[in-house]
């Protein structure tokens, strides 16, 4: 067992978590787009609670022009623009590679219109996957970072349509729009979602004064990493007050202690993104460290931490 000040627990700790009908051995999974099947040669991915795929669209798309990534103080700014093989190529090539990883596969579904989400879901119906995560919050599909996820009515319609077209639990990855997070979370729940993921990256901008240009090819991008952790924690806490379905926390998580912070704030599970770029092993290290941390925090079931925040 590793980690400063962390000792092995005297009794086994139950790390399991339920997201609707989806049972996970532990609460740790990658954020969509941050971890591909190729990393299975380096990382024992089967030890994760689940894997989440890159978002898939109906048609093939190239993604945004370079530069797509940039560093920021304590964070990363991306404008990848969701390159996709399209749902047929995904089902033929990518999905089998994810399935071979040995962890439950959550397929991230995207769209440029409400109907595109539904079409992708229909095309996935004959394939093997444990759940769907509806990505209504990519900040990089439009200039300026406007997402469909800022429109609560659209979130409700998209999710209801996806739920009607699949038998697997549906998670909804929400935009970090501070003004609408509780309304959007409630709309997702009312439309039949099994869980909400809070949250995607925050729309941001990096500027090169020498050239008078934005440093990212698409102009704006999404900020992620430790810089957004307090913002994401607050949104998780706010969303968890608004719904009875589980919240999956996402935003700047890099250690087992960060995971515990999100659980106490109201998350039942977590997604890890930016930290995996610097340290691909970070997720499995965290899974290894969680039992000792839980014991130190006085719980034998990790879920006993969920939503225990007081002021
Ligand atoms: C991207 O590919 O631009 C990021 C994906 C996302 O934020 O949903």
- pLDDT at residue 2, rounded to an integer: 44
* pLDDT by 10s per residue, the chain, length 311: 444 545 667 678 999 999 999 999 999 999 999 988 988 888 999 999 999 999 999 999 999 999 999 999 999 999 999 999 999 999 999 999 999 999 999 999 999 999 999 999 999 999 999 999 999 999 988 766 667 888 999 999 999 999 999 999 999 999 998 788 999 999 999 999 999 999 999 999 999 999 999 999 999 999 999 999 999 999 999 999 999 999 999 999 999 999 999 999 999 999 999 999 999 999 999 999 999 999 999 999 999 999 999 99
Integer Cα distance of 302 and 295 in angstroms:
9
DSSP bridge partners of 9: none
Ligand 1 center from residue 51 Cα (angstroms) = 16
Q: Which of 31, 35, 138, 200 best tests ligand 1's pocket when mutated (most atoms within 8 Å of CB)?
A: 138
CATH C-level class of 17-65+80-204+223-305: alpha beta
Q: Which two tokens mark 115?
A: 């109907």
Q: Which is nearest to 109 in space by CA: 58, 64, 50?
A: 58
Task: For residues 159 and 22, give the distance between their C-alpha atoms in angstroms, rounded to a whole number.
Answer: 17
pLDDT at 280: 92
CA–CA dist 82, 207 (Å, integer) = 22
Task: Indicate the helix (H) or strand (E) that contains 135.
Answer: strand 131-135
**Protein residue with least CA distance to atom 7, ligand 1:** 138
User: How do 202-205 and 220-224 pair as beta strands?
Assistant: antiparallel
Q: Integer distance in angstroms from the first to the last C-alpha of the chain?
A: 32
Atom of ligand 1 nearest to the CA of 81: 3
Residues within a 6 A CB radius of ligand 1:
33, 55, 78-82, 135, 138-140, 200-201, 222
Query: What residues act catalytically?
Result: 138
Q: How many Cα neighbours within 13 Å face the side chain of 210?
A: 1
């Amino acid at each position: 067992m590793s980690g400063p000040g962390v000792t092995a627990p005297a009794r086994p700790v139950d790390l399991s978590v339920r997201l609707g009908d989806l049972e996970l051995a532990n609460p740790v999974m990658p954020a969509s787009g941050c971890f591909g099947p190729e990393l299975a040669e380096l990382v024992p991915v089967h030890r994760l609670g689940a894997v989440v795929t890159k978002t898939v669209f109906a048609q093939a798309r190239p993604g945004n022009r370079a530069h797509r990534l940039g560093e920021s103080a304590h964070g990363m700014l991306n404008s990848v623009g969701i390159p996709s093989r399209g749902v047929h190529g995904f089902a033929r090539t990518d999905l089998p590679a994810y399935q071979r990883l040995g962890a439950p596969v959550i397929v991230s579904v995207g769209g440029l219109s409400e109907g595109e989400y539904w079409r992708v879901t229909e095309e996935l119906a004959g394939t093997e996957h444990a759940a769907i995560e509806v990505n209504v919050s990519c900040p990089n599909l439009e200039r300026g970072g406007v997402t469909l996820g800022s429109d609560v009515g659209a979130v409700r319609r998209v999710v209801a349509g996806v739920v009607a077209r699949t038998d697997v639990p549906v998670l909804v990855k929400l935009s970090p729009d501070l003004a609408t997070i509780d309304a959007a979370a409630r709309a997702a729940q009312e439309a039949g979602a099994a869980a909400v993921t809070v949250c995607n990256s925050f729309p941001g901008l990096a500027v090169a004064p020498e050239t008078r240009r934005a440093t990212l090819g698409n102009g704006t991008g999404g900020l992620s990493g430790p810089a957004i952790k307090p913002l994401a924690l607050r949104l998780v806490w706010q969303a968890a007050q608004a719904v009875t379905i589980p919240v999956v926390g996402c935003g700047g998580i890099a250690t087992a202690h960060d995971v515990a912070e999100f659980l106490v704030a109201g998350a039942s599970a977590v997604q890890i993104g930016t930290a995996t770029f610097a340290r691909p092993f970070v997720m499995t290290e965290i899974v290894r460290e969680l039992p000792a941390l839980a014991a130190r925090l006085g719980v034998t079931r990790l879920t006993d931490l969920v939503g225990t925040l007081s002021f």
